[in-house]
Amino acid sequence: MKKIQKILVHEQVSQEIQNFIEEKELSEGDKLPSVEEMTQMFGVGRSSLREALRYLEAMDIIQVHNGKGIFVKDVNTFRFTGKVKIEREKNFLLSILEVRRALEGQSVALASKRITGKQIAEVEECLEEYRILKESNKDTSQVDLAFHRHIIKAANNPVLETVLDSISGLYEKFFNDPLGDKQLFDETYPFHITMFKGIAEHNTKTALEEFSKLMDCIEEKIKSAK
C-alpha cells in the first residue's frame, strides 16, 4: 500500500494565497489583505499563516513591509498550478542548500560526537527502508527526510534543532517533489551510508567529508536539472 503524503498547513495556506492572487488578478505592488483578515479568510492560526508568508516571501512572490502591509512582488514567480518555474526553483534550492551546508553540517559534526546506540539503530533501520524503496524504484523523498531528521536529533542541540524547525517549510522543498521529481536526489544514497558510518564510528572528519560530498551531489543535480 502507498503511504498517504502529509500536507503541511502552511503549504496549503501558501497555495491558497497564490490562488487568491490569481483569482483577483493582482499585479506587482498590489496590497494583500492583512494577517488578521487572512487568518479569517483561510480559517488558520497566525503561526501557520506567518510561516506561509515567510515561504512566499523567500520565493519572491510577496513582500512584507512592517507597519505597511503585505504586497505582491512578482506574480510570474509561480505558475499558478502550484509548480515553481524551473530556474526560479533551482536558484531557490541552491540558496537553501547554502543554509543546509552550514546548519546541517554542524548537526553532522555534533552527531558524530553524541549519537547514542539507540539512535544508531534507528538510523540503520531508516537506511534499510531507504534501500528497499530505492531498489523498488519507489518514492524515497520522505524516508530521505526522516534520515536527516534523525541526524539532526542525534546532534542533541535543542537550539540548533529549533532553528532548523523554524525553516522546515523551506528545508522540505528538497524532499517534497523538488523540481517535479521525487527521486531527483536518489544518487545521494551512497553518501548517506558513508556519512552515517563516520557518525556511528564517532569519526567527525569522515562524517563531514561525506556530508560535503552529499551536498556537492545535490548541488550538481540541481544545476543540471532541466
Whose CA is closest to 10, among 178, 168, 182? 168
pLDDT per residue as tens digits for the range 45-87: 999 899 999 988 887 789 999 889 999 986 665 544 344 456 7
C-alpha cell at 137: 524504484
Rounded Cα distance between 34 and 124, Å, is 47
More confident residue, 144 or 169: 144
Give the three-class secondary structure for 226: coil
More confident residue, 36 or 174: 36
Mean per-residue pLDDT, 182-201: 91
More confident residue, 208 or 221: 208
Rounded Cα distance between 96 and 84, Å, is 15
C-alpha cell at 220: 550538481
Identify the pLDDT of residue 2. 39
C-alpha cell at 48: 501557520
**6: burial class by Cβ within 10 Å (0-12, 13-18, 19+)?**
exposed
Most confident of 35-39, 58-62, 83-87, 201-205: 201-205
pLDDT per residue as tens digits for the range 78-123: 544 344 456 777 888 898 899 999 999 999 999 999 999 999 999 9
What pairing do the DSSP bridges indicate for beta strands 62-65 and 78-79? unpaired
4 contacts: CB under 8 Å, gap ≥ 6:
none
Identify the pLDDT of residue 75. 63
Phi and psi torsions of 70, nearest 5°: -115, 130
Identify the pLDDT of residue 77. 52
